[in-house]
Amino acid sequence: MPRRPSILDTSFAATTIATVGRVYRAVMFASMRIDVDPRVVALLRTREPAVFLCWHQDLLFTFGWLSRFNVRRPTAVLTSASRDGGIAAALCSGIGYREIARGSSARRGAAALLHLSRVSRDRSGMSVAIVADGPRPPARLLKPGGLVVARDAGLPIWLLRTSWRPDASLRRTWAKFHVPRPFARGVVCADGPILVPPDLDREGLERLRGDVERRMNALADAADAKVAALG
């Protein structure tokens, strides 16, 4: 049975969400002090495309920080096909992401990944940003979609992590979602580039998936430790 439309499906709601997202990003980043990995800054100042992966728990500020470079480097983003994904899509559109693909492992995921691969191949310089553990638990367990996009589009992978002090994580959410406060201290850490061979088969993809998952968790732990040591 078709889902009944709600107020969240209207253009007015999308415009409102996008506006709130732009204002929130401007206020929060203007008040924060952030230490950034110079390697990723050097990359983002170029027009070289890449696939950026982060965990669900820090997606709000990782995607928010990454979007500050969208004028120079157009970036597509993957959000789920759910109603929450619709809110995320409106936010991402509002802060400058050029292409929004809707899908997840539960619904329309294969089509969304194929669309991202085609977009990044066909539009010169188009990067892709993906939440690597998807919209559902378990947290910090890598799904292979980002690797498939990187393989099919011939793009390098960069892992990103934003961590903050004080930590305002929502402990009751499945991903322990991070919601930094104004005037927080933050770090942006990166690991890459990771190259995906174009002829990588299913077994090779699974081996790479496990390696990238370990590297993402190590990056997250290192970033959390680094920000905890800040004065």
Write out pLDDT tens, residues 67-93. Answer: 888 888 889 998 877 777 778 888 888
pLDDT at residue 178 is higher than 60: yes
- Reported as a single tens digit per residue, the pLDDT across 18-56 is 788 788 788 888 888 899 999 999 999 888 999 999 999
Q: Give the pLDDT score at 1.
A: 43
Q: Give the pLDDT score at 105.
A: 58
Q: Give the pLDDT score at 87.
A: 81
pLDDT at residue 7 is higher than 80: no
Q: Where are the alpha helices (DSSP H) in the chain?
A: 11-31, 38-44, 59-66, 83-94, 109-122, 145-153, 202-228
Record the pTM: 0.88
How high is the mean pLDDT of the chain? 86
Strand duo 33-36 + 99-102: pairing: unpaired
φ, ψ dihedrals at 20, nearest 5°: -60, -40
- How far is residue 130 CA from its own chain's centroid? 4
| Amino acid letter, residue 122 | D
